[in-house]
Amino acid sequence: MSTVKLTVNGKAVSVDVEDRTLLVHLLRENLNLTGTHVGCDTSQCGACVVHVDGRAVKSCTMLAGQAAGSNVTTIEGLAKGDELHPMQAAFRDNHGLQCGYCTPGMIMSAVDIVHRHGGKLDEETVRHELEGNICRCTGYHNIVKAVLDAAGRMKVAQAAE
Amino acid sequence: MYETNYHRASSIDDAVAQFAKGTDSKFLSGGQTLLPVMKQRLAAPSDVIDVAKIKDMIGIDVSGDTVTIKAATPHYDVAQSDAVKKAIPALASLASEIGDPAVRYRGTIGGSLANNDPAADYPAAVLALGATVKTNKRSIPAEDFFKGLFSTALEDGEIITAVSFPVPAKAGYAKFPNPASRFALTGVFVAKTKAGDVRVAATGASQSGVMRVGPIEQALKANWAASALDSVTIAASGLLADIHGSADYRANLVKVMGQRAVTAAG
């Protein structure tokens, strides 16, 4: 057992976990942040994506200990109170989800993609960069539409700040 | 995952000391291969020594005709590095095609080389560019480093600290990715050294892991052009055959990826 101290969604937390605990299990089972999902558990599907120090990573492929001292943002940390993050709003408006299982990971990856590419995002880039996130219902079409829509909204929001 | 003890090393010396304390220790860098393998219970190290936050092991240095990438530098940082893009664009491009974006944020060059997966991308670049693998004990030329599937010249407890690549006159990499895993079904790295030598390495193809491709090297030495490989035949013996492709299919891929790599190199 080790004590892992990290910041999750802006809040400092300290959790006692077995050393073999994965970050996703610390989030879900110790902190009850069940928005982050475990899909394949083989590092392929991306349902578990969270941001660690600003980078979108697979929390099922990281030990909790590796995240000690880091700043972690999960899907629960994106919205500002009742106001959805522009990416969340765009997924809702564009019907970018059906069963919703992959959605938290999709959104966390998509926010990272927009951060990296800014206003230069096009459809081909979105499709290519989402290759680490698997959706089994939508056929991706509306997800891609949502990400492109959100990229525009995030640019506007940034300009307003 | 079986039980294990996690240690975060503060320095290379600390990592080596921590490693020696465990009964069956493993170094952990980005963990993008080791952790999935541990989750499948195919590996069960008593101790994992995290080297990914050791400051001396992160960063890229380009000086003169050498690009040095420290071992715990993630693929994303290599792909984004303006210095690497300028000195060896094929290396930045290779790093940008490993796995997916989330994997590239965590996975590292040292981890990839130490694991020596027969379908990993970096070994092709290291072998074709004639790079030198630096460890806490010595410098190992690429020729002597790779020892077959998942096996290298590294001794128990020896840690890769950096990789030095000589800047070539021209280089290119092309891979046919497995559509699910993005590992190379076959990938070929071609390089023309500043002295005029041609070196070509293929990953994902051979049963013995990364390999030099003599017939392509000879053809490109005579004529550096994709069309120079039109008449080259790659022998299928000793090549991998699995559900994704037969040995004959991979033999053809070595040639076709070689041609695309030359085109990419210009």
Residues A119 and A113: their CA atoms lie apart, in Å, by 11
Q: What is the mean pLDDT of residues B70-82?
A: 98
Is the minimum CB–CB distance between A134 and chain B shorter than 8 Å? Answer: no
The pair phi, psi for residue B178, each rounded to 5°, is -60, 125
Is the minimum CB–CB distance between B179 and chain A shorter than 8 Å? Answer: no
Residues B12 and B1: their CA atoms lie apart, in Å, by 27
Q: What is the mean pLDDT of residues B135-146?
A: 98
The answer to whether residues B235 and B251 touch, using CB atoms and an 8 Å cutoff, is: yes
What are chain A's domains? 2-77 (3.10.20.30), 86-160 (1.10.150.120)
Q: Which of A156, A37, A50 is nearest to A111 (CA)?
A: A50
The tokens of B79 are what? 């792909």
Residues B121 and B177: their CA atoms lie apart, in Å, by 10
The residues, ordered by sequence, that sit 6+ positions from A104 with a Cβ below 8 Å of its Cβ are A35, A36, A37, A47, A49, A74, A75
What's the pLDDT score for residue A119?
73
Q: What is the mean pLDDT of residues B129-148?
A: 98
Q: ∠ at Cα A75 (A72, A79), nearest 5°?
A: 105
The answer to whether residues A96 and A142 touch, using CB atoms and an 8 Å cutoff, is: yes
**Are A65 and B50 inside 8 Å of each other by CB?**
yes
What are chain B's domains? 5-50 (3.30.43.10), 55-166 (3.30.465.10), 170-265 (3.30.390.50)
What's the pLDDT score for residue B93?
98
Q: ∠ at Cα B260 (B259, B263), nearest 5°?
A: 90
- DSSP letter, residue B49: E
The pair phi, psi for residue B30, each rounded to 5°, is -75, -25
Q: A94: left (phi > 0), else alpha (psi -120 to 50), else beta?
A: alpha
The answer to whether residues B197 and B230 touch, using CB atoms and an 8 Å cutoff, is: no
Q: What is the DSSP string of B73-120?
A: -BHHHHHH-HHHHHH-HHHHHHHTTSS-HHHHHH-BHHHHHHHT-TT-
The identity of residue B157, as a single letter, is G
Q: Which of B88, B85, B1 is nearest to B46 (CA)?
A: B1
The answer to whether residues B12 and B162 touch, using CB atoms and an 8 Å cutoff, is: no
The count of other CB atoms within 10 Å of the CB of residue A127 is 14
Q: Maximum CA pair distance of chain B? A: 56
Q: Is B17 exposed, middle or buried (0-12, 13-18, 19+ CB in 10 A)?
A: middle
**pLDDT surpassing 70 at residue B94:** yes
Q: Over chain B, what is the mean pLDDT?
A: 97
**Are B32 and A61 inside 8 Å of each other by CB?**
yes
A75 Cα to chain B: minimum distance (Å): 16
A45 Cα to chain B: minimum distance (Å): 10
What's the pLDDT score for residue A161?
66
**Are B3 and A19 inside 8 Å of each other by CB?**
yes
The pair phi, psi for residue A60, each rounded to 5°, is -85, -5
The tokens of B54 are what? 């050791």
- DSSP letter, residue B23: S
The tokens of B168 are what? 């070539």
Which pLDDT tens digit goes with each residue over B214-229? 999 999 999 999 999 9
Which pLDDT tens digit goes with each residue over B228-240? 999 999 999 999 9
Q: Which residue of B has its CA nearest to A43?
A: B36
The answer to whether residues A35 and A75 touch, using CB atoms and an 8 Å cutoff, is: yes
Q: Which of A116-125, B11-20, B148-157, B182-191 has the lowest mean pLDDT?
A: A116-125
What's the pLDDT score for residue B257?
98
Q: Which residue of A has its CA nearest to B4?
A: A20
Tell me which chain A residues have a C-beta less than 8 angstroms from the C-beta of B102.
46, 49, 56-58, 109, 132
**Are A46 and B48 inside 8 Å of each other by CB?**
no
The pair phi, psi for residue B73, each rounded to 5°, is -75, 125
The residues, ordered by sequence, that sit 6+ positions from B113 with a Cβ below 8 Å of its Cβ are B71, B122, B123, B126, B133, B145, B152, B160, B163
Q: What is the mean pLDDT of residues B152-162?
A: 97
**Are B103 and A43 inside 8 Å of each other by CB?**
yes
Place of tokens 């992959």: A102
Residue B81 Cα to chain centre, angstroms: 17
Of B1, B76, B102, the CB nearest to A49: B102
Is the minimum CB–CB distance between A104 and chain B shorter than 8 Å? Answer: no
The count of other CB atoms within 10 Å of the CB of residue B231 is 9
**Are B50 and A44 inside 8 Å of each other by CB?**
no
Helix, strand, or coil here: B28? strand
Composition of chain B by helix, strand, coil, percent to 5? 35, 25, 40
Average pLDDT of each block of 10 consecutive residues along chain A (161 residues)? 97 98 98 97 94 98 98 97 97 96 98 91 96 93 97 82 66
